[in-house]
Amino acid sequence: MEFQAQPVHQSPVPRQLGEAGTEGFLAVARLVNERNRRFWGSTDFEESPEAQLAVMQPRKAGRRVILLPAGPEPAGAAVLIVPLTDNTHAVWVDVMVDPAARGAGLGRSLLRAAEEYAASLGRRVLDAETEHRLAGTGTGAGGAVLRPATGTGEIPADASARFAQAAGFALEQVERISLLELENGADFSAGLSRARAAAGDGYALETWTGRCPDALVSDYAKLKQRMSTDAPMGDLEWEEEAWDVERVRESEATQAAAGVDLLCCAVRDLSTDTLAGHTVLWVQREQPQAAMQDDTLVLRAHRGHSLGMLLKTANLQRLQQERPQVRRIYTWNAEENRHMLRINEALGFRAAAWGGQWQRRLGSAN
């Protein structure tokens, strides 16, 4: 039977709640929170509509687009991220469908509308992500698995993976989602001491919360730009991002408006007085029990001095001191990033789930 697409329309992203588009945006916020609660079985990733709306606002680097099916209470949505200053060949898409509404073609209709929107902009690539819970051994598939083009890692061939595959997406990379439980306490002092000794006297740590100090922000922008390409990307078609001071400040302002505190730690090379690496922890004020480990990068010229371990242990110790409410820390790493995974494992992180990074060239068979 030939697939019959359901009507899908673009809904505006309101500047603030109460403006045009609020009803559609609130449907998206609800779907996001419900999906995260189902997946994680907790509220660790739950965000208020106000926090989600702050992130949805347009920025110089990109904008969000909301696609919704007809009806007063949409059972699904697609959210698109459209890069504007780099990677202008691509659009990132997130398709969400309430479990009770699956099997009727709504997901395919939303995805088709996303493809048409991306094509109308002249974009040639769609990027997407799926998440898969850990169960049993290996990936927990208990059966069929999918492996990326890199050959490293695997995900279960579950409903979300089959949906992406049937839509013509290629699995390009597998990420490990790891969790560090702090319920029984954790002592990072010994690891920090060892890392300091290995680093030697040629480096100094710099820390800040939220806004990067003016004296460091230019170097920090360079680190952010390098992070976009130095982290393993598998076979994903992704270009270096364009980061400058303005983009750093805009990103910081967005996170502050969303109620996110950024705990940053950088390492400074004393011989050149420039930053050689950084790491970031995110704490959502609405969910103070959980933190997210974001970027960790050491520039290639400075690797081999345990700076990655130094940055992470120093920032984790600081988190314990300043945010004792945090009980769980989540982080994401490409499965082929063995060096960073070994650091995380030494710190006590354990695999909790898997992420599939997918890409589809527009115009390829659907």
DSSP annotation of 59 reads: B
pLDDT for 142 equals 56
On whether the CB atoms of residues 96 and 109 are closer than 8 A, the answer is no
Rounded to whole angstroms, the Cα distance separating 13 from 55 reads: 11
What are residue 353's DSSP bridge partners? 133, 177
With H, G, I as helix, E, B as strand and everything else as coil, classify residue 55: helix
CATH classification code of 8-177+356-361: 3.40.630.30
Q: Whose structure tokens read 């995260």?
A: 36
In terms of Cβ atoms closer than 10 Å to its own Cβ (0-12, 13-18, 19+), residue 186 is middle
Q: What is the 3-state secondary structure (H, E, C) of 19-58?
A: CCCHHHHHHHHHHHHHHHHHHHCCCCCCCCHHHHHHHHCC
User: Rg of the Cα trace of the chain?
Assistant: 21
How far CA 253 is from CA of 156, 260, 315, in Å, comes to 38, 10, 21
Within the chain, what is the greatest distance between any pair of CA atoms?
70
On whether the CB atoms of residues 260 and 250 are closer than 8 A, the answer is no
Average pLDDT of the chain is 93
Q: What is the pTM of this model?
A: 0.94
Q: Is the pLDDT assigned to residue 139 strictly greater than 50? A: no
Give residue limits of the domains in the chain. Answer: 8-177+356-361, 184-326
**Domain pair 8-177+356-361 / 184-326, same fold:** yes
Q: Is the pLDDT assigned to residue 137 strictly greater than 70? A: no
**pLDDT band at 135; cut points 50, 70, 90:** low
DSSP annotation of 217 reads: H
- Rounded to the nearest 10 degrees, how much is the dihedral formed by the CA atoms of 34, 38, 40, 44? 30
**pLDDT band at 193; cut points 50, 70, 90:** very high
Helix, strand, coil percent content, the chain, rounded in steps of 5: 35, 30, 35
pLDDT for 102 equals 93
Q: Is the pLDDT assigned to residue 364 strictly greater than 60? A: no
DSSP annotation of 302 reads: G
Superfamily classification of domain 184-326? Gcn5-related N-acetyltransferase (GNAT) (3.40.630.30)
In terms of Cβ atoms closer than 10 Å to its own Cβ (0-12, 13-18, 19+), residue 265 is buried
Q: Whose structure tokens read 């992420």?
A: 355
Q: What average pLDDT does range 185-211 have in this prediction?
A: 95
Rounded to whole angstroms, the Cα distance separating 108 from 29 reads: 20
The tens digit of pLDDT for each residue in 33-42 reads 999 999 999 9
The tens digit of pLDDT for each residue in 311-334 reads 999 999 999 999 999 999 999 999
Q: What average pLDDT does range 146-163 have in this prediction?
A: 94
Structure tokens at 238: 């992704």
What are residue 90's DSSP bridge partners? 125
Q: Is the pLDDT assigned to residue 309 strictly greater than 90? A: yes
